[in-house]
Amino acid sequence: MIARSFWGFLLFAFAAFSPAAQAQSGGELHFCLHGEPKTFNPILVDDEAAEQIRYLTGGVLIRLNRQTQALEPALATSWDTSRDRRTITLHLRKGLRFSDGTPFTSEDVAYTVKLMMDPQTHSPTGDAFRSGDGAVDVKTPSPDVVTITFPAPIAGLDRLFDQVAIMSAHSPKKEMAVLGPFFVAEYKAGSSVLLKKNPNYWKRDAQGNPLPYLDSIHIDIQRNRDIELVRFRKGELQLINRLDAEQFERLRHDDPAVARNAGTGLDAEELWFNEVPSAPLPEYKKTWFHTTEFRRAISAAINRDDLCRIVYSGYAKPAYGPVSPANRFWFNSALEKPTYDPKLALALLTHAGFRHENETMKDAAGNRVEFNLVTNSGNATREKMAVMIQQDLSQLGIKVNVVTLDFPSLIERMTRTFDYDACLLGLVNTDLDPDSQMTVWLSSGENHQWNPNQKTPATTWEGEIDKLMREQASAPTDKERKAKFDRVQQIVAEQAPFIYLINKDVLVAVSSSVVGTAPVVLSPQAFWNAETLRLNAGAALGAQK
Amino acid sequence: MSPARLLRTTCGTFLCAVFLAGLFAGGVTHYSYATQFREAPNAAPSPTHLFGTDSLGRDLFTRVLYGTRVSLLLAPAAAFLSTIIAGVFGAFAGFVGGWFEAAVLAVADLSMALPLLFVLLALRAMLPLDIDPVVSVAATFILLGLLGWQASLRVVWAASKNLRDSDFLLLARATGCPRSRIILRHVLPNLRPVLLAQFWISIPLYVLTEATLSMLGLGVMEPLPSWGNLLRGLEDFSVVHANPWRALPLVLLVVVVICFQLILPAQEEIA
Amino acid sequence: MRHRIYQVGRRLALLLLLTLLGGLLGATLVRLAPGYGVDERELDPRLSQQTIESIRASNRAHSSLLVYYARFLQGAAHGDFGDSQWLQRPIASLIRERLPVTLRSVLLGTLLAWLAALAAALAVSIFPNWALDLSSTVMSGILIALPVAVVAMLAVYIGAPVPVAIAAVLVPKLFRYVRNLLAHANAQPHVLAAQARGVGRPRILSHHIAPCVSPALLALVGVSLSMAFGAAIPIEALCDSPGIGQLAWQAALNRDLPLIMNLTLLTTLITVAANWLANFSNRRVM
C-alpha cells in the first residue's frame, strides 16, 4: 500500500509539475514578423506580415485546420456547396459580437463579400473568387443565413473562405473591429504590433473556458533573422516562425528541445530556362533552352542530395515536382524520384546533338555551352545552391555564370526585358489547391515563368496542360480534379520546364516556456493554434525585454 | 634600430608577404578556389586544409589567398583614385577659393547626400550578365573610387585652406609664381601627409564597402573570392562560435589594416 | 547690417536650391535604376490579371520625372509630401515618426565618437609613449576593419544602443585624423619654441595647438555628422531600429520613388547645412 501510495505520489508530482500542468492562462507571447504589415484591412492583404496579423485577428466562416489540412466550421456552423460549384450557403453562429461589441450577422458577411468582389477595391483576397465575368449575388434571407452565388464555377470554393476575414458593416472602428481571437491594440510603424485578447471571441475550449488563453501577443518587426535568433537565445522572444537550416542546426546543437522540425514543407526551390521567343538571347541559346533533352540533362546533372545535405544541413528533400509530398492530397506519388545521374545527362546531351570535347561541352554548331544563372541577392542558401549547381555542371564541361541581382532588378529581367538565360528562385506555396496556381500553368498566364503571356500555346504539351488545368477547375469531384492535375505533374516531370530542386523542411524554434505548440507545414507554422497556446507559470508575464 | 622602426619594418615585410602570397597564390596552394570538397564542409583546420573549409567545402586558405589578390590589388586602386580626385579638387578649392571653392563643395555635399547605391545598381545593370567576374569586380572598385572621394575632399580642402596663408606660399605668390605651379609644387607636396592618411584609411573602407555590396549582389561574383564575400557569414556570431576558423579572414583583414596604419608614420617622416 | 541679411538670405536660397537639386537628382537616380516600376506582387500567382494591371498602372504613375517633381513641389508647398508606394502611408507622418529616432542616434553617436577620439588622441599627444600609440593604433585598426554589419551585430549581442554602434564606426576615423593633426601641430616651430621656453603643456595645448588644429577639426565636424548619418542607415537597417536609416534602406530595396526623393531632400538638407555650419564656425574661430 505504501509502495502504491509512493508511486501514486510520484505520478501526481510529475503531472503537477509538468510544463502542461504549470501552464496557465494569461501572459504575453513575444515573437517577430519579418516585414512590415502594409495594411490591417483584411481584404487588401497581400504581404506575408499582414496575412499573419489577419490570421490572428480575423474571424473566418470556414477554417482550414493547419494540422489536419481539413476544413472546419468557424463562424459558419455548416455550409452547402451547389453541384455546379457556383453557390454556397452558409449557416452562421448566432449571438456573436465583434471585438468592439457590434453584433455579427449575415449582413456583415454580405458587406465583406461585396466589398471584396468590387473591382474598384482590387482586393487580392477577392481575386481567388474571380472565376468569370459578372457580378456576385449575395442573399441574406435571415440574420444567420447567407447565400453567395458566383458568376462561374470555382474549384475548392469552400476552402477559399479560410482567407476571408469578416468585416463589420456597422462598426465605427471599420476593419479594426474583428471576430478573431485577438485584435490590434497598438501599432508602432516599423517597430511592433500589439495584439490583445478579444473579449468577445466566440470559441471555447473543451472544458468551456473562453479562448484565447493568452492575454496578448507582442509582435516585433524584425527583418534581420540573425538578430531574431540572438534575441530568442537571450529569452526576449518565445518563438521563431521560420528558421533557416544553418541557424536551426546551431540551435539544435545548443538546445535540442527548442528546435522543432515540422517536416517537409510546401515550398520548393526551382530553376528554369528562358524560353521566351522574343528574349534578347542568341538564337543558339534559345535552341538549347527549347530542347527538352537539354533541360532534362541539366536536371539529371544536379546533385540534389548534396544540395539537401550541404546547403540545408539535411533539412530538405529532393523535390519531385511542383507539389510537395507534404501536400497530402494533391501530391502525385507515382512520380519518379529525381536522381543524380551525370551519365544520363551526358547521354541526353549527346542525343540532342551536343558533344563533350576537351572538358568542354559544345553544341552541334561548335558554340560552347555557357549560360548565366540569375538569382536574388541577399539569400545565402540560394546563392550557395547556385554555386553548387555551377560546380555540378562544370563536371559536364558546361560553364555557368552565377549572377546575383537585387530583387526588383531580377523581376524586371524576368517579367519585362526577359534578358537572362536561367533563373533560380523559390516557389512559396501558401495554398494546397493547385487552382491557385492557374497563372503559372496556363500558357497565357502571367506567372508561366519560362514563357509567360503566350497568345497560343507554344508547344503541344503546354496546350495539353492548358486543357487539363481548365478541366480540373470545372471537374465535379475532387477525385477527378486530382486525376487531371496528376497528369499535369507528369507532363512537367517529363518536359522539365521547371527543374525542381528541393523541398525545404519547416523549421521553427519554440521556447520551453510556451505550451501547446504543434508546428505544422502550413502558414503560420509555429502559431497556427495561437488561441490555445499557454505560457508556463514562470513566464506568465511573457518575455521580459 | 629603434623599436618603432623595427615594428614598421616588420609590418612592411608582413604586408609584402601577404601581397606576394596573393599575387602568386597559384604557387602557394595547389587547390582551386572553386573546388568543393563536399565530404568536408565547415571542416576545422588540418594539414590538408590549413584554414579549414567553408560551408561548401572549399579550402579557406586558398580562398583567402585568391581573395587577397582581389582585395589588396583593387581596394588600393580605388583608394588611389578617390584620393587623387580629392587631392586635386580639394587642393584647388582650398587654395583658389571663391566660386570654384563653393561649387566644388556643393558638388561634394550633393554627392554625399545622394543614394549612390542606385548608381552602382545602374552600372551593374549596364554590364552584360556574362561578363568575366574579374572585369565586373574591377569595374565595381573603379566606380567606388570615382564615387567615394567626398569625405577625403573635405579634409584636403580644410588642410589646403590652412596652408593658403602660410608664409612660404605668400612668398611664392610675392615672387610671381603662377597659381597652378604654386598648387602643384608647393601645396600638394605639403598635403602629402593628409593625402597619405586618407589613402591608407580608404583601403580597408573599400574592402568593407565591397563586403556590403556583396550582400546586395553588386560585389564579387561567385566563385571568385574576395575578403568581402569571405566576411559575409560572420554577422551571426554563433557561426564563429561553432566554427572559429571562419573568423580567420577577419583576423587577417584586421592585421593588414593595422599594418597599414603602423607604416604611415614612416611615410610622414619621409615627407 | 543690410549686407549681413543679404548674405544670410543668399545662403539660405542656395541651401534651398541645393536641397531641391539633390531631391531631383535622387529621384532621377531611382527612376533610371533597373527594377524601377516593378513590384514583387506581380509574381504572386493568386492575383488576377486585373489586379496585376492595376499594380503596374500605379507604378507607371511617376513615369515622367519632371512632371512628377513639379507636382511634388506643388504639394510640398502645401505640406503634402506624397504617399509611400511601399508602405502606402503619408510620407510626412513616416518622417515625423522616425526622424527623432535617427537624429538622436546620430547626434549621440557623433558626440560619443568625438569624445572618445579626442580623449584618445589627447592622451597619445600628452603622454607620448610608443606602447600607448601602438595600442591605440591597434584598437582603431580593429574598429576600422570590422564591417558595419559586424559592428551592428556586436551592438545587438552586447545590448548596446544604436548610438554606440554609430560611435564605434566613427571613432577610428576621427581618432586617426585628430592624432595626426595633433602630432603635426606638435612639430610646428612655434610650438617647439613655446616648449623650449618652458611653457606648460596645458597652455601649449590651449594657446598654441588648439588654434592651429581647430579649423581642420571644425571642418571634420560637418563631415563626421554626414558620416554618422551615412553609418546610421545600415546600422539602423541591421539593428531594425525604426529610424530614417531603416526607412531609407527599405525604400531603396523597394524602389519607392516618392519616399526616396523625400529622404534625399532631407539628407541633402542635413548634409549641406551641417557642412555650412562647420564652415561658418571655422570662419568665426579664425
pLDDT at C151: 82
Smallest Cα distance from B109 to chain C, Å: 6
pLDDT at B269: 38
Q: Which of C34, C157, C242 sits opposite A409 (nearest CB)?
A: C34
pLDDT at A281: 95
Smallest Cα distance from B190 to chain C, Å: 12
ipTM: 0.84
pLDDT at C79: 84
Measured CA to CA, the distance from residue B270 to residue C271 in angstroms comes to 36
CB A218 within 8 Å of CB A30: yes
Q: How big is the A-C interface in CB pairs under 8 Å?
A: 107
pLDDT at B270: 36
Tell me chain B's radius of gyration from C-alpha atoms. Answer: 22
Smallest Cα distance from C196 to chain B, Å: 22
Give chain A positions within 8 Å (CB) of C99: none
Does any CB of chain B come closer than 8 Å to the CB of residue C15? no
Q: What is the average pLDDT across B260-271?
A: 55
Measured CA to CA, the distance from residue C277 to residue C219 in angstroms comes to 9
Give chain C positions within 8 Å (CB) of A409: 34-35
pLDDT at B235: 62
User: Interhelix angle for A478-495 vs A460-474, to 10°?
Assistant: 160
A401 → chain B, closest CA residue: B130
pLDDT band at C112 (very low <50, low <70, confident <90, very high): very high
Highest mean pLDDT among A397-406, B230-239, C212-221: A397-406
- B233 or A166: which leads in pLDDT: A166
C neighbour chains, 3+ CB pairs within 8 Å: A, B
User: With the CA atoms of A144, A150, A153 and A159 taken in that order, what torsion angle do they form, in degrees rounded to the nearest 10?
Assistant: -40
Give chain A positions within 8 Å (CB) of C92: none
Cβ within 8 Å, pair C238-A46: no
Give chain C positions within 8 Å (CB) of B193: 180, 184
Cβ within 8 Å, pair C240-A438: no
Cβ within 8 Å, pair C268-B250: no
Give chain C positions within 8 Å (CB) of A445: 45
Q: Residues B170-175: contacts with CB within 8 Å, 24+ apart? A: none
Cβ within 8 Å, pair B221-A401: yes
pLDDT at A163: 94
DSSP state of A543: -
Measured CA to CA, the distance from residue A434 to residue A468 in angstroms comes to 12
A neighbour chains, 3+ CB pairs within 8 Å: B, C
Smallest Cα distance from A520 to chain B, Å: 26
pLDDT at B48: 92
B56 → chain A, closest CA residue: A310
Q: Which of C35, C86, C157 sits opposite A409 (nearest CB)?
A: C35
Cβ within 8 Å, pair A189-C242: yes
B neighbour chains, 3+ CB pairs within 8 Å: A, C
- A175 or C173: which leads in pLDDT: A175
Asked if pLDDT for residue C176 goes beyond 50, the answer is: yes
A248 → chain B, closest CA residue: B238
Strands A62-64 and A71-73: antiparallel
Q: What is the average pLDDT across C216-239?
A: 80
Does any CB of chain B come closer than 8 Å to the CB of residue C59? no
Smallest Cα distance from C286 to chain A, Å: 45
Q: Which of B55, B235, B242 sits opposite A384 (nearest CB)?
A: B55
pLDDT digits (tens, 9 = 90+) for B140-150: 888 888 888 88
> Maximum distance among all alpha carbons in chain B?
76
Q: Give the 3-state secondary structure of A407-473.
A: HHHHHHHHHHHCCCCEEEEEECCCCCCHHHHHHHHCCCCCCCCCCCCCCCCCCHHHHHHHHHHHHHH
Does any CB of chain C come closer than 8 Å to the CB of residue B193? yes
Give chain C positions within 8 Å (CB) of A188: 242
Smallest Cα distance from C165 to chain A, Å: 15
Q: Name which of A406, A488, A495, A487 is nearest A450 in CA terms.
A: A495
Does any CB of chain C come closer than 8 Å to the CB of residue B176? no
Does any CB of chain C come closer than 8 Å to the CB of residue A190? yes
pLDDT at C221: 81
Does any CB of chain C come closer than 8 Å to the CB of residue A12? no
Does any CB of chain C come closer than 8 Å to the CB of residue A453? no
Q: What is the average pLDDT across C50-66?
A: 77
Selected residues 154-213 of chain B with any CB under 8 Å from a CB in chain A: none
Domain ranges of chain C: 91-285
pLDDT at A165: 97
Give chain A positions within 8 Å (CB) of B238: 229, 233, 247, 250, 254
Return the number of other C-beta atoms located less than 10 Å from residue A391's C-beta.
20
SS3 at position A1: coil
Instruction: Choose from C31, C40, C51 for mutation: most chain A CBs within 10 A.
Output: C51
Q: Name which of B81, B71, B83, B76 is nearest B196 in CA terms.
A: B83
pLDDT at A543: 36
Instruction: Choose from A46, A376, A419, A420 for mutation: most chain C CBs within 10 A.
Output: A46
DSSP for C91-136 reads HHHHHHHHHHHHHHHHHHHHHHHHHHHHHHHHHHHHS--HHHHHHH
Q: Name which of A339, A96, A66, A124 is nearest A201 in CA terms.
A: A96
Give chain C positions within 8 Å (CB) of B162: 215-216
Q: What is the average pLDDT across B24-28?
A: 89
Smallest Cα distance from C162 to chain B, Å: 16
In which residue ranges of chain A is pLDDT below 50?
A: 1-9, 11-17, 19, 539-545
pLDDT at B236: 65
Q: Which of C37, C43, C87 sits opposite A447 (nearest CB)?
A: C43
pLDDT band at B265 (very low <50, low <70, confident <90, very high): low
Whether the model clears a pTM of 0.95, i.e. scores above it, the answer is no
SS3 at position C257: helix
Instruction: Answer whether CATH 1.10.3720.10 is correct for domain C91-285.
Output: yes
Measured CA to CA, the distance from residue B218 to residue B223 in angstroms comes to 14
Measured CA to CA, the distance from residue C137 to residue C128 in angstroms comes to 13
How many residues in chain A? Answer: 545
CB B253 within 8 Å of CB B226: no
pLDDT at C142: 81
pLDDT band at C22 (very low <50, low <70, confident <90, very high): confident
pLDDT band at B136 (very low <50, low <70, confident <90, very high): confident
